[in-house]
Amino acid sequence: MSYLAPGQLKHNEPMSQHVSWRAGGIAQRFYVPLNRDDLSRFVSQETQSDFHVIGLGSNLLVRDGGLTETIIQMHGALKEIQVVEQRPNELILEVEAGVPAPKIARWVAKLGYQGGEFLAGIPGTLGGALAMNAGCYGKETWQCVESVITMDDQGSFFERNNSEYEIGYRHVALKPPVGQRTVSRLHPTQEWFIAARLKFINDPLKKGQQLIKELLARRVATQPLGQPNAGSVFRNPPGGFAAQLIEKSGLKGVREGGAEVSYKHANFIVNVGGATAADIENLIYRVQQRVWEVCGISLTPEVRIIGNRLG
């Protein structure tokens, strides 16, 4: 992965250097803020630009035609973790959106608390985990959230309690104001997550660090971590698992150009060498079509696809 110095605006930045699939076009403008205030200043002054906010690029596909919008990278910028309260039975951390989820898991376990071990299995930043309620091993991000700090595309900050959100499986949305019936999907041009207060409980037997080791060993054994990938490509359908449906449909090892459905885990698409974003996107659609034909189930992508197609 490639990271720019905080406060630096770069033009025509290859997004293949900033997404875990190692594929995709260029961003015409790419910015890494110095801190929260610098981010607010930058956004408030960019009156002619739309934005896409990214973290580690681990759940993202940028099409080969690239982006005219400005990319803002949180990782390497909003990276602070602070202890807000530390009691015998409870720990509250304020964590900025650019902090990798596994780092939070290690912090919590080292301080002697539990409930954050699952974060070690999320290959992205807290901001992305908040935006999609990322989860694994039976637990989800918003189960730890007390409150969040957000920022809108005018550079204004807001403090919000978790009760202000509709939260579900891979779904987070602001609840509508009183008197309105619709719920707007949280999206990059509405509000971005800047930080969150996360709560964890005491771990009297100090098992957190050992559990993290076991979870990471399970990841290594079951996921193709040695090849460029974006984690799970599809959401699990109600009552089932996307990987099982994909395998049942005979799709393990199927390729489009340099993109392949992983032999190790069928819900992963890996870049086996030279894959374009179009290869990956075409394979996503191919998997959806085949699973529908064989199983009669429509798989919903978990990955975010942005940008322009070539041609």
Which CATH number does the domain housing residue 207 bear?
Answer: 3.30.465.10
What pLDDT, on a 0 to 100 scale, did the predictor assign at position 112? Answer: 93
Are 144 and 56 contained in the same domain? no
DSSP three-state, residue 258: coil
What pLDDT, on a 0 to 100 scale, did the predictor assign at position 203? Answer: 85
In a domain, 170, yes or no: yes
Biggest CA-to-CA distance, the chain: 60
What are residue 5's DSSP bridge partners?
none
pLDDT in tens, 128-157: 999 999 999 889 999 999 999 999 989 999
Are 187 and 164 contained in the same domain? yes
Instruction: Please give the helix or strand (H or E) that residue 189 lies within, else none.
Output: none
Tell me which of 41, 106, 160, 170 is the catalytic residue. 170
In a domain, 1, yes or no: no
**Domain count across the chain:** 3
Are 86 and 192 contained in the same domain? yes
In a domain, 2, yes or no: no
Q: Give the C-alpha separation, 122 to 254, whole Å.
A: 26
Q: Give the C-alpha separation, 286 to 271, whole Å.
A: 16
Say yes or no to pLDDT of 17 above 90.
yes
In a domain, 46, yes or no: yes
302 is catalytic: yes
The values of phi and psi at residue 279, to 5°, are -60, -45
Q: Give the C-alpha separation, 237 to 282, whole Å.
A: 21
In a domain, 198, yes or no: yes
Q: Please give the model's pTM, rounded to 2 decimal places.
A: 0.90
In a domain, 141, yes or no: yes
Are 99 and 192 contained in the same domain? yes
DSSP string, 116-134: -GGGGG--SBHHHHHHHT-
Query: Is the distance from CB of 89 to CB of 20 less than 8 angstroms?
Result: no
Tell me which of 40, 140, 302, 304 is the catalytic residue. 302
Query: Is the distance from CB of 3 to CB of 76 less than 8 angstroms?
Result: yes
Answer with the one of 190, 219, 248 that is the final residue of a domain.
219
Are 95 and 215 contained in the same domain? yes
In a domain, 52, yes or no: yes
Q: Give the C-alpha separation, 94 to 100, whole Å.
A: 14
Are 37 and 90 contained in the same domain? no
pLDDT in tens, 74-94: 998 999 999 999 988 999 999
Are 111 and 214 contained in the same domain? yes
Answer with the one of 24, 55, 73 that is the final residue of a domain.
73
Are 41 and 56 contained in the same domain? yes
pLDDT in tens, 166-216: 999 999 998 877 655 554 444 434 799 999 999 999 988 889 999 999 999
Q: Which domain holds residue 111?
A: 81-219
Percentage helix, strand, coil for the chain under 3-state DSSP, each rounded to 5: 25, 30, 40
In a domain, 3, yes or no: no
Answer with the one of 185, 219, 253 that is the final residue of a domain.
219
Tell me which of 232, 256, 260, 262 is the catalytic residue. 232
Are 196 and 244 contained in the same domain? no
Label the pairing between strands 191-202 and 145-152.
Answer: antiparallel
Are 192 and 89 contained in the same domain? yes
Are 32 and 49 contained in the same domain? yes
Question: Which amino acid is it at 257?
Answer: G
pLDDT in tens, 219-231: 999 999 999 999 9
The mean pLDDT value for 51-72 works out to 96
The mean pLDDT value for 56-72 works out to 96
